[in-house]
Amino acid sequence: MAAPLELHPDRLFPADVGLRAIARRLYEPVADLPIISPHGHTDPSWFANNELFPNPSALLITPDHYVFRMLYSQGIALEDLGIATTGPGGKPVEEDPRKVWRLFAQNYHLFSGTPSRMWHDWVYRDVFGLDVVLSAETADLYYETMDAALKTDAFRPRALFERFNIEVIATTEDPLDPLAHHAKLKADGWGRKVVTTFRPDNVLDPDYEGFEDNLEMLADITGCDTTSWLGYLDALKDRRAWFRDHGATSTDHGHPTAFTADLGPAESEALFHTIRDGGGTAAERELFRGQMLTEMARMSQDDGLVMQIHPGCWRNHNEMVFRRFGRDKGADIPTATDYVASLRPLLNKFGNNPDFTLIIFTLDEDSYSRELATLAGHYPAMKLGPPWWFHDSPEGMRRFRERTTETAGFYNTVGFNDDTRAFLSIPARHDVARRMDCVWLAHLVAEHRLPEAEAAVIAGDLAYNLAKRAYKL
């Protein structure tokens, strides 16, 4: 007989009876606050066009790199999971979503103890009403139940958006994107609900695929001369303004390191010309990326866009997977990341401005207590983004609060980001964050380190207010 699927009301709360009671009291008033999702990767066409989602596998497996990286690590071919190939080699890609689903279901035990398990169970129980645990035995029941639901209007993107009580969600687009979906959303009166984010890696990073072509496209779009340094900067300013017109309140930067530079204008211009046509050494390309972060910060002084940096990931570590399947296929690996020397040029230039907001993320948890909390606990502009990617998990959240609170406090952090393209799991992810923050606060209360009344205020700030305020949403 299949095991029952339950979402225990006390899930994630500590075993200790006293602690649990405090956590419950703190959680209850924040549990149903609207969702502020200031950074993520949902597809704006979903909300613009409001079409039905295709099928359970296309919605829950194929786009979720947490899921297929784990399956791949245990010897399951990506082709068998229906992952589209972009290059030659390998076996044929499975085209039957039901077979993909069965393969996933047979291997669901691999996710025991992972956040994916929690998110998926939440989606199955709360979104689809399933009440048995996913397994080989229940795979078909799952597929049929979800497939039928996805054909109904209640599962269209806008209906789910309302059901999930999302107040605002930010998507992420690059400067070459025409933002047509956001324009439609604006016209539909959804412009304040779904906003874009300016993510210019593909025109700032000389190592990005197609960098030179991208600069030409940028010139075409903006009418600026991107063969000159000042024209290039103008083009970027122009696109930032365009993104602001489509709701953007922030930029985002995914660089291999947190390195920033503060060159003089002449040096910057010379470097740009070295880089412009695919030239420059690796060190010069890194210097250019670093200088461009500082240029982005400079533009934020004027246009008020909040600046986010997501550094420290070795993208596409697995050559074969990159060649055959392309980017974002679960083969990105965090690296040890310095912030102290790296951010100094940018912070010395703009970090003392309390009206500027720089939100820093990390995949290197070792930097929490040593570098990030100490920097954010000093520079007025700098704030700490929530635990990111692999660390967006109960233990990751616990470590984040344990290692940052004592030096940075709560008010140098900015609430939660779900940072996901897995739309259906967004409420689950925010719920995990709200629960784990309440657990941390409950510890402080139980150990008489914080009065419960103050903890209750902080719980609300972490769940809702801080994200809204920090991202100007």
Q: Which residues between 335 and 374 bind a second copy (CB under 8 A)?
A: 335-336, 338, 340-341, 344, 347-348, 351-352, 354, 363-366, 369-371, 373-374
| Residue with Cβ nearer a second copy (10 or 51) | 10
Alpha helices in 74-138 (DSSP H): 97-106, 115-122
Q: Which amino acid is at 6?
A: E
Residues 429-458 that bind a second copy (CB under 8 A): 443-444, 446-451, 453-455, 457-458
Question: Side-chain half-sphere of 69: how many Cα atoms within 13 Å?
Answer: 16
Task: Report CA 160 to chain centroid distance, whole Å.
Answer: 20
Express the helix, strand and coil content of the chain in percent, nearest 5 each.
50, 5, 40
Q: Rounded CA gap, 58 and 183, in Å?
A: 26
The residue count for binding a second copy (CB under 8 A) is 94
Counting contacts by CB under 8 A, is residue 113 touching a second copy? yes
| Residue with Cβ nearer a second copy (46 or 368) | 368
Stretch that binds a second copy, among 43-51, 137-145, 298-306, 310-318 (CB under 8 A): 310-318
What length does the chain have?
473
The 73-102 contact track toward a second copy, x by CB under 8 A, reads: xxx---------------------------
Min dist CB 355 to a second copy, Å, is 8
Stretch that binds a second copy, among 110-118, 223-231, 234-242, 299-307 (CB under 8 A): 110-118
Quick one: which of 54, 223, 279, 409 contacts a second copy (CB under 8 A)?
A: 409
Min dist CB 301 to a second copy, Å, is 15
Min dist CB 256 to a second copy, Å, is 11
Give the closest residue to 12 by CA, choosing from 387, 407, 429.
Answer: 429
Min dist CB 14 to a second copy, Å, is 7
Give the closest residue to 385 by CA, choosing from 411, 401, 362.
Answer: 362
- Radius of gyration for the chain, computed over Cα atoms and rounded to the nearest angstrom: 23
Counting contacts by CB under 8 A, is residue 385 touching a second copy? no
Counting contacts by CB under 8 A, is residue 3 touching a second copy? yes
Q: Rounded CA gap, 224 and 219, in Å?
A: 5
Q: Rounded CA gap, 427 and 34, in Å?
A: 10
